[in-house]
Amino acid sequence: MLHGFGRYGLGAAHGWAWLTWAGPIALIVFWALFVVAMILLIVYLIRHGRGYAPDSTAMAILRERYAKGEIAKEEFEEKRKDLM
């Protein structure tokens, strides 16, 4: 028998003692990453879903033509509604 180390040598939980604090921390990190991943997935699906066009090329050209004065406000509004 090893003196000073008890019946099980170095102790039953000697090699696993880090799990007493690492387990809860790992669980918190896991859920935090899971929540962040879900938020990013939702944002991605919203942005790349049907009907989402942040600034399509046609709309950019239309805005540029309106800004240059090539088209009137009425024509701009009509074409903008067509593009939406």
Question: How high is the pLDDT of residue 29?
Answer: 94
78 inside domain = yes
38 inside domain = yes
Range of the structural domain that residue 50 is part of: 19-83
14 inside domain = no
Which sign, positive or negative, has the C-alpha torsion 48, 49, 51, 52? negative
38 token code pair: 């879900």
CB 83 within 8 A of CB 58: yes
Number of domains in the chain: 1
- As a whole number, mean pLDDT of residues 8-36 equals 76
CB 52 within 8 A of CB 46: yes
77 inside domain = yes
- The letter for the amino acid at 18 is W
pLDDT digits (tens, 9 = 90+) for 31-78: 999 999 999 999 988 887 765 555 668 888 888 888 988 988 888 888
Question: How high is the pLDDT of residue 1?
Answer: 47
Helix or strand or coil: residue 55?
Answer: coil
79 inside domain = yes
57 inside domain = yes
The pTM of the full predicted model, rounded to 2 decimals, is 0.43
24 inside domain = yes
